[in-house]
Amino acid sequence: MNCEESLAGQVAVVTGASRGVGLAIARRLGQMGARVSLCARNAANLESAASGLREDGIQVLAQRTDVTRADEVASFVSETQRTFGPVDILVNNAGIGIFGPFQKQTEAEWNAVLDTNLKSVFLVSRAVAPEMIRRKAGHIINIVSLAGKSTFASGAIYCASKWGLLGLSGCMAEELRPHGIRVSAICPGSVATDFSPHAGKDPSRMLQPEDVAHAVAALVTQAPGSFISEVQIRPTQKP
């Protein structure tokens, strides 16, 4: 079996997969043979992404889902299992960024960032974990950020969500490893997407969505006797 068939028969779920990093990850896993289940909040963008993947010969399920809502998460995971079967790979990629001086930010902005970047990982992982535990196998990969390991002005809410996500990832890894489930965190630096403004930075010197997808591919093709708990990704030259 070559690398492009290494995930044949497996089912991968990618959240926030309608564009950018999430779409690149979905495409890479699909090219490796996985059947890919996508969700995002924007239905039009999601359907456009799914159509493009299908044109590449990838088996795709796409369902508009707000991953901050437990009922919608349950519906999405249930439909994935009904259509494709048990989930082998979960990539928690959905995330937003709201930036500015913390004293000027609102409670609604705090809730939006923490719910999307942190609570959603808890909800989706909780939905797939029981079946992974029963099968004693699975990968859960959380897309964090180098902001989960550093601080910067105007990043209070975003950094809080990503520091929390690193803590959640570590605890999940310890709880699930006895069941044969590997939990990993990927911490990229700035990626050239429209996720957040990159004023003054040269996009060609920034990380690309495909760089993060490459890291995901490496994690899900590890030998069964070990797992990489954390990956940090930086561009070779500072943007």
Which active-site residues does the annotation give?
158
Pairing between strand 60-64 and 230-233? unpaired
Q: Where are the beta strands (DSSP E) in the chain?
A: 11-15, 35-40, 60-64, 89-92, 138-143, 181-188, 230-233
- For residue 57, the surrounding DSSP H or E stretch is none
How far is it, in rounded angstroms, from Cα 131 to Cα 138?
Answer: 9
**Cα-only R_g, the chain:** 17
3-state class (DSSP) for residue 236: coil
End-to-end CA distance of the chain: 38
Going by the DSSP 8-state scheme, the letter that residue 191 receives in this structure is B
